[in-house]
Chain A
Amino acid sequence: MALLEVHRLSKAFGGLTALRAVSFTVAERELLGVIGPNGSGKSTLFHIIGGVLRPSSGTVAFAGETITGRQPWEICRLGIGRTPQIPMVFPGLTCLENVLVGAAFGSRRRRLPVARARHEAIAALETVGLADLAARPAPRLSLGQTRLLELAMALASAPRLLLLDEPTAGLSPAAVQRVLQLLRGLRGRGVTIVLVDHKLRAIADVASRLLALDRGEVIAEGPSAEVTRHPRVLEAYLGEP
C-alpha cells in the first residue's frame, strides 16, 4: 500500500501557477527523489504536504487518511517529518534543546515525559553524529553541522515519512557524502524518504525512483536511470549545473 498519495494537486499564487495537477505515490520504505530546476514547484509541493500552504485543488493522503487542510503540527504528529530548504534552527536554544522540541512534540506516541524526550533527543543527535555538540548553542554550528542538526530535529519525532528539502545544498562534497550515507542508513531502518534536490547526479545515486517537475508539472517519473535520460528532463536541466 502506498504510504503517501498525492492526487491532482494544484496551487496558484495570484495569477502564477506553481503546481498543476501533480499526482504521484510513495510506497513504504521507498526513497523517492523529486528533481526539477529552481522554480519548478518542488518546495511548494513540500509546503502543501506539510500543511504550511493550502492547495488550490487536489488532495494529499497519508497512510490512507486525507491530510489536506490539517494544521502543520497535526501532520507532523501523524508521522511526517520535514526539514526546510533554508536552515531554521532555534537560535536561542542549544543543539539538544533544538532536538528536544521535535522529541517532545512530534512523536506519534503523544505526551512523552520530558526525561524520555531528552533520551530520544540524545539518540537522534547520535544518529547524525552530533552528540558531542549537544550543549553548544545552535547558531555556533557550521552549515554542514546545521543541516545535520535539522535532520536530527526531524528524526527525533520518529517519523514514518521524511520530507527533505535540499538537505545537501551549500555543502562540501565530503559533507554531501555524509548526508547521503545517513539517508541510506535511515532507509535501512525502515524510514520512507522523499528528497528534493536539483543536483541530478547526487540524488540519482541514492533514490530508487525519481519524479521530475518542470514549471509545476510532472514531466517524467520512474526508475532513476530512465528519468535521468528522459529527453524532457535533459531539456529542463540544460544550462543547470
Chain B
Amino acid sequence: MRGGWALFGCALAASALPWSPYHRSLLTTGLLLALLTASWHLLALGGRLSFGHAAFFGVGAYASALLASRAGLSVWVALLGGALAAAAAAIPVGALSLHLRGPYFSLATLAAAEVLRILAANWTSLTGGTWGLVGLPPLPPQGALVGAGGIGALLLVHTLLARSRWGVALAAIRQQQERAEALGVPSRPLLFATLLTSAAFAGLSGAAYAHHVRSLEPATAFSLLFSILPLIMALFGGTSSPAGPLLGAGVLYFLDELLLQPRFPAGHQLLYAGAILLVLLGLPEGLVGIARRRGGGRGAS
C-alpha cells in the first residue's frame, strides 16, 4: 500500500514538471495505461482475470468523445460520462461472465470485448463506423493529472477495502469461492460492484485517451492490445500489492517507448511477450516479489 502511494507521489510530481510536448504526451499515455492496469487489478482481487478490459476502455473512449464532440459538453464532464458509460456497459458484460470462473470468465470477457468492438464498427450513425471519429476536443494541458488523479482515487478504494471487511471478502472469494459463500460472503453482488468500479476507472482511462490522441476508431479503441497490456503489466509488476501493477505499467511502457520502439519499430511488442513469459516461468510474484525478497519478506500490502 505504501509503495502505491509513493508511486502516486512520483506520478503527481512528474505531471507538474515542465516537459517537452513529446515527453508530456508520453507521460500522459503512460499514466493512463497505468490507470487501466490498476483498474484491471482491482477486479483481479476477486480472482477474475479479465482478458477483455478493452471493452470498458473503448466504451469510455467513445462515450466521452461523443459527449464532448456531439453534445458539446466540456471535456471534464465528458470524462465522467465516459467512466459512467463504461460502468453501465459492465452490467451486461458482468451478467454474461461473472458466474463463470477461471479460464471461462477470462474467455467470456475476451468475447464480450470483441462483440462491443463489432457493434462500434457497425453502428455507423453513432460511432462513424470503421472510419471512426476525428478532431475530438483536446484534453486540457494538465491532462496527465487525469491519469494521476484516477490512480489516486483507485488507491483510496484499495485503502477502504483493506480497512473494511470487503477486502478480506474479495481475498476469500479469490482463494475459495464456494467456502466464502458458505460463510456468508455475498460473492455475486460483491463481484458485480468490483467489476463496475473497475470498469469505471478503465472507462476514465479510455475517455482521457480519446481526448489525448483526438481521434478514435473501433479497431484501436477496442484493440486486443488494451486487453492484453493491463494483464501483462499487472502480472509483470506483481498482483500482491497495489504498487505492483503501477510499477509494471511504468517500467514496461517507458522501456518500450523510450528504448525499444525507436530502435525496433517492427517487433517492439516482443518486450511484452517476453515480460509475460518471464513472469510465468521464473518470477511468479513479479517485480514486487523481488523487492519483497530483498526486503526480507516484509509484506508490502
Contacts and interface: CB of A to CB of B under 8 A. Distances in A.
Whether A and B touch (Cβ < 8 Å) is answered with yes
Interface of A: 50, 52, 71-74, 76-77, 82, 84, 88-93, 97, 100-102, 104-107, 112, 114, 117, 153-154, 156-157
A89 B172 CA distance: 9
A161 to B, nearest CB: 13
Given A76-B182, A82-B182, A84-B179, A101 B164 contact: no
Given A89-B176, A97-B168, A84 B182 contact: yes
Interface in B136-174: 163-165, 168-169, 171-172, 174
A153 B169 CA distance: 13
B185 interface: yes
A90 B181 contact: no
9 contacts: A77-B184, A84-B179, A88-B176, A100-B168, A101-B169, A101-B180, A104-B168, A105-B165, A107-B184
A241 to B, nearest CB: 29
A105 B185 contact: yes
B292 interface: no
B184 A73 contact: yes
Interface residues of B, number: 21
A76 B169 CA distance: 15
Contact of B183 (A52, A74, A92, A101): A101
Interface string B175-191: 11011111111111000
Contacts, number: 82
Contacts of A89: 176, 179
Given A71-B186, A156-B183, 10 more contacts: A71-B181, A71-B188, A84-B182, A91-B175, A92-B174, A97-B171, A100-B168, A101-B180, A114-B165, A154-B183
A141 to B, nearest CB: 15
Given A90-B175, A93-B175, A105 B182 contact: no
B165 A117 contact: yes
A88 B181 CA distance: 12
A88 B180 CA distance: 9
Contacts of B182: 50, 52, 72-73, 76, 82, 84
Closest 7 A/B residue pairs (Cβ): A106-B184, A105-B184, A104-B165, A76-B184, A72-B181, A102-B183, A88-B179
Contacts of B187: 73
A107 B181 CA distance: 13
A89 B181 CA distance: 12
Contact of A92 (B169, B175, B178): B175
